[in-house]
Amino acid sequence: MENSVKERLKEFILYKKISIREFERLCDLSNGYVKGIKHSILPNKMKSISLHFPDLNPIWLLTGNGEMLQGSEKKEEAKPSGASPMEILEELRKNYIEKEERLLRLIESQQEVIKNQSEALKKTVAQADDNVICAAASGSEIQK
């Protein structure tokens, strides 16, 4: 069974050796926020978590892909200390672009989830409306 967002977040909190309550306080989250996570984390909450814990890989947190910590997958590729400043800057630029592209893909996937959930909700509401119309036409009473 795949880990949920909540389980991955708890794993990160355990790694940081802080309590869930302390994590919530540091990120300006309400008491019990972590416990209440159902499917995902709202974008404004994710932003707060990322600001307070920049080493946490948001892609790993939300999808389970990659490493828990930012840059973990790049450690083997580190340049020797004799790299020129231009080489270091170029490497940093490439890393920035890669991370930006990953975040954009993550945002797109979250937007797709929102779109699908919105469409499903619209269908449910339309179906409920149809049921009310049918019940009214047949003379039955609908109980709330």
pLDDT per residue over 26-35, tens digit each?
Answer: 999 999 999 9
State the pLDDT at residue 81.
56
Q: State if pTM tops 0.85.
A: no
Q: Is 128 helix (H, G, I), strand (E, B) or coil?
A: helix
- Cα distances from 6 to residues 17, 85, 102, 126, in angstroms, run 17, 40, 21, 32
- Quickly name the fold that domain 1-70 has: 434 Repressor (Amino-terminal Domain) (1.10.260)
Q: What is the pLDDT of residues 35-58, one digit of tens each?
A: 999 888 988 899 999 999 999 999
Checking if the pLDDT of 92 tops 50, the result is: yes
Please name every residue paired with 122 in a beta bridge, in sequence order, or none if there are none.
none
Which has the minimum average pLDDT: 3-17, 27-41, 125-139?
125-139
Residue type, 126: A
**Long-range contacts of residues 107-111, Cβ cutoff 8 Å, at least 24 apart:** 109/63, 110/40, 110/43, 110/62
Candidates 54, 49, 26; CA nearest to 37 is 49
